[in-house]
A and B are shown apart, each in its own frame.
Chain A
Amino acid sequence: MQLHAEGIEKRFFRKTGSANNFFAVSKTDFDLLPGAVTVLVGRSGSGKTTLLQMLSGLLSPTSGKVFADGTDLYSLPDKALSRFRSTHLAVIPQGLSLLQNLTVMENLLLPGSLYSKSPVTEGTALEMLEKLGIGHLAGVYPTELSGGESRRVAISRALLHRPDVLFADEPTGDLDDENTDLVLDLLQAEARRGAAVLLVTHEAGAERIADNVYRMTAGKLSCERSAHEA
């Protein structure tokens, strides 16, 4: 699935100097291609998360459109957009995102049960957890997990449903080097399988799996390296 953003921008209302609003993301076009890992870098507060949320259907842009295989995402009613997101997209949010009332295993299985999709079996879910070295935590509630463990559960949950487009917002921030490498490998494997992957990261090592690299500077997007140029 190809994701194509056309002239999207996001303006937030906030007093900054003389103006009372500012652009977290300035007008830009953007493409996420299937089979490629697109890495987005930039300083904290530059607008990376805002861009990722607009692309993933979670935040409607102030102006501009986001197309997924030709469908204008934000023209869909809530129900259709939710179903679309659930079926084709997966997001690993920047903050903590586990449901506290569900065990690790249940957290993994819930998204698959939302719309009559072919549900994921517990066996497959367990395999995914084991890939990330947390198979033994399947029956545990999130309150008992460390930050790194929670992060890996959230990553497993997103990968498990084999999305067409995968959004990962600083997924390795609280992981050690070994696990960081593991996660980067898994993201690359997702792209190999045909998914479009957007990875927002500070991780220098991410360069190694990147097909395209973009930089965000105070809301302005610039291309640092593109697979087509190489």
Chain B
Amino acid sequence: MTPRQLPLRNLKRKPARTAGLLLLVLFLAFSLFAGTVISMSLQRGLGSLEARLGADIIVVPSSAKSKVDLDGIFLQGTTGYFYMDAGYVDKLQAISGVEQLSPQLFLASLRASCCTIPVQVIGIDQATDFSIQPWITKSYSKALGDLDVVVGCKVNADIGESIKIYGENCKVVARLDATGTGLDTAIYCSMDSLRHLLESARALGHDLKISGDPAQVISAVYIRVGDGYDIQKVVDDINLHVRKVQAVRTKSMLTGIADSLSGVSRSVRLLILVIWILCIVILLIAFGMLIHERKKEFAVLRVLGMSRAMLARMMLSESFLLSLMGSILGTALAALLVLPFSTLIEGLLNLPFLLPDTPALLGIALFTVLACLVIGPLSSAFAAFRLSRVDPAAILKEGA
């Protein structure tokens, strides 16, 4: 038995006390890691959502606004469809300030072979699209052929496989990176493919409530406003001059999310703070109570020849070991709960959620462990000081 082995032995021989202190450090690590990851993921989710939308304005038929949840369709990937005449593209083009515009066509699949839940199928006009294709070209650089589809990362289909939509075999040619939004559950194809699918759906007897020529409909128009133009003014112009459509500013769709996101972030940070203050106070009290409980033990060590420095070092080593074990356990537990269940958390918070990449996660884990390795021994510092100065003469008397 050497003084180096003492800290671990002391921890082992007092399992209840050790477990209690370990649990406190575990809470510290858990809350810091889980909280940081969650709030970073929300931030990244919003960033990716902004980038993914790519448009300043989205125009939909004015009837759509009352029928379906637009935020849901564009941000959260809920399914929905509505149609207007393709001729609106030209009318919108005429509005001053509109620099780029591209129509999209929606179809909500009821049963696709890939998916247990309905999937939003989105047809893009490859000649004009600027919002989706930049993402697709990351994984697929060729033009989309007839019935070729690109799937969001959460659609359960591999490249090369076929998925059946309204009886048609669609070939998966690419998968998109995760965005942390509902768009991850969507399927993309060319405008022509989508018209093909529309026909098939109608042939199967589904009433899509298309008024006019099905070959001439679109669902939404994505607009990018030229530099120097006021986006709000363009929105107002469209709503004023183009009848039967509704222009929506994407930013206003996102502000709702951004607001609740910063609210959640703030709550998470507040929660971390509260847990930390609470845990540190309890740690301080716990170590403070140790002073009394362990006076005798330290006095004996002193009589046996250990110096004050050795005693202080022993106490600090104990809290260091506790903090090391507690923080690794807490971080691991938080990782185990947060990482695999990110989808669930996204659903619970109803906010876009995009986990940081592996190096960033490792960085947060390291930071968490380091923070605990500082806080743990620091909260035992007073106890270490007092115990190292215990007076052996006053304690080692008869009966004591």
Measuring CB to CB, which residues of chain A are less than 8 angstroms from any residue of chain B?
A: 49-50, 53, 58-59, 78-79, 82-83, 85-87, 91, 93-102, 106, 109-111, 113-115, 141, 157, 170, 173
Expressed in whole angstroms, the Cα–Cα distance for A133 and B86 within the complex equals 104
Residues of A within 8 A of B249 (CB): none
Pick from B1, B392, B400: contact of A96, CB below 8 A.
B400
Q: Are A111 and B304 in contact (CB under 8 A)?
A: yes
Expressed in whole angstroms, the Cα–Cα distance for A85 and B306 within the complex equals 9
Expressed in whole angstroms, the Cα–Cα distance for A83 and B302 within the complex equals 11
Nearest chain A residue, comparing its CB with the CB of B297: A99
CB distance from B71 to the nearest CB of A (A): 62
Expressed in whole angstroms, the Cα–Cα distance for A49 and B297 within the complex equals 19
Given known A-B contacts A78-B307, A106-B1, A101 and B10 have beta carbons under 8 A apart: yes
CB distance from B175 to the nearest CB of A (A): 58
Pick from B300, B305, B308, B399: contact of A99, CB below 8 A.
B300
Residues of A within 8 A of B1 (CB): 102, 106, 109-110, 113
B residues 284-324 with Cβ under 8 Å of A? 297, 300-310
Q: Are A78 and B308 in contact (CB under 8 A)?
A: yes
Q: Are A94 and B297 in contact (CB under 8 A)?
A: no
CB distance from A13 to the nearest CB of B (A): 13
15 CB < 8 A contacts A-B: A50-B393, A82-B305, A82-B306, A85-B305, A93-B396, A94-B396, A94-B397, A95-B396, A96-B400, A101-B9, A102-B1, A106-B1, A111-B304, A113-B2, A115-B305
Decide yes or no whether B3 CB sits under 8 A from chain A: yes
Measuring CB to CB, which residues of chain B are less than 8 angstroms from any residue of chain A?
A: 1-3, 6, 9-10, 13-14, 297, 300-310, 391-393, 395-400
Given known A-B contacts A82-B307, A101-B13, A95 and B397 have beta carbons under 8 A apart: yes
Expressed in whole angstroms, the Cα–Cα distance for A93 and B301 within the complex equals 12
Q: Are B303 and A83 in contact (CB under 8 A)?
A: no
Chain B CB count within 10 A is highest, among A114, A141, A173, for A114
Residues of A within 8 A of B304 (CB): 86, 110-111, 114, 157
Residues of A within 8 A of B14 (CB): 101
CB distance from B65 to the nearest CB of A (A): 72
Given known A-B contacts A109-B1, A110-B1, A83 and B307 have beta carbons under 8 A apart: yes
Residues of A within 8 A of B9 (CB): 101-102
CB distance from B180 to the nearest CB of A (A): 50
Q: Are B3 and A170 in contact (CB under 8 A)?
A: no
Expressed in whole angstroms, the Cα–Cα distance for A100 and B293 within the complex equals 12
Other than A79-B308, A93-B300, A101-B297, give 5 A-B pairs with Cβ distance below 8 A: A53-B393, A58-B393, A83-B307, A101-B10, A110-B1
CB distance from A118 to the nearest CB of B (A): 14
Expressed in whole angstroms, the Cα–Cα distance for A82 and B400 within the complex equals 23
Expressed in whole angstroms, the Cα–Cα distance for A96 and B397 within the complex equals 8
Q: Are B309 and A100 in contact (CB under 8 A)?
A: no
Expressed in whole angstroms, the Cα–Cα distance for A132 and B16 within the complex equals 35
Q: Are A97 and B309 in contact (CB under 8 A)?
A: no
Residues of B within 8 A of A79 (CB): 307-309
Nearest chain A residue, comparing its CB with the CB of B3: A114
Residues of A within 8 A of B2 (CB): 110, 113
Expressed in whole angstroms, the Cα–Cα distance for A103 and B30 within the complex equals 36
Residues of B within 8 A of A97 (CB): 300, 303, 396
CB distance from B299 to the nearest CB of A (A): 8
Nearest chain A residue, comparing its CB with the CB of B311: A82
Expressed in whole angstroms, the Cα–Cα distance for A85 and B301 within the complex equals 12
Expressed in whole angstroms, the Cα–Cα distance for A58 and B304 within the complex equals 11
Nearest chain B residue, comparing its CB with the CB of A170: B398
Expressed in whole angstroms, the Cα–Cα distance for A87 and B10 within the complex equals 25
CB distance from B12 to the nearest CB of A (A): 8
Residues of A within 8 A of B297 (CB): 99-101
Expressed in whole angstroms, the Cα–Cα distance for A91 and B396 within the complex equals 11
CB distance from A66 to the nearest CB of B (A): 14
Given known A-B contacts A98-B300, A99-B300, A114 and B306 have beta carbons under 8 A apart: yes
CB distance from B28 to the nearest CB of A (A): 26
CB distance from B125 to the nearest CB of A (A): 76
Q: Are A78 and B392 in contact (CB under 8 A)?
A: no
Residues of B within 8 A of A173 (CB): 398
Expressed in whole angstroms, the Cα–Cα distance for A182 and B341 within the complex equals 70
CB distance from B66 to the nearest CB of A (A): 74
Residues of A within 8 A of B391 (CB): 59
Expressed in whole angstroms, the Cα–Cα distance for A153 and B400 within the complex equals 17
Residues of A within 8 A of B396 (CB): 93-95, 97
Expressed in whole angstroms, the Cα–Cα distance for A60 and B2 within the complex equals 28
CB distance from A171 to the nearest CB of B (A): 12
The 4 closest A-B pairs by CB, nearest first: A86-B305, A82-B307, A95-B400, A106-B1
Residues of B within 8 A of A114 (CB): 3, 304-306, 310
Q: Are B305 and A59 in contact (CB under 8 A)?
A: no
Residues of A within 8 A of B308 (CB): 78-79, 82
Residues of A within 8 A of B395 (CB): 95
Nearest chain B residue, comparing its CB with the CB of A107: B1
Nearest chain A residue, comparing its CB with the CB of B396: A93
CB distance from A105 to the nearest CB of B (A): 8
Expressed in whole angstroms, the Cα–Cα distance for A170 and B400 within the complex equals 14
Expressed in whole angstroms, the Cα–Cα distance for A95 and B297 within the complex equals 12
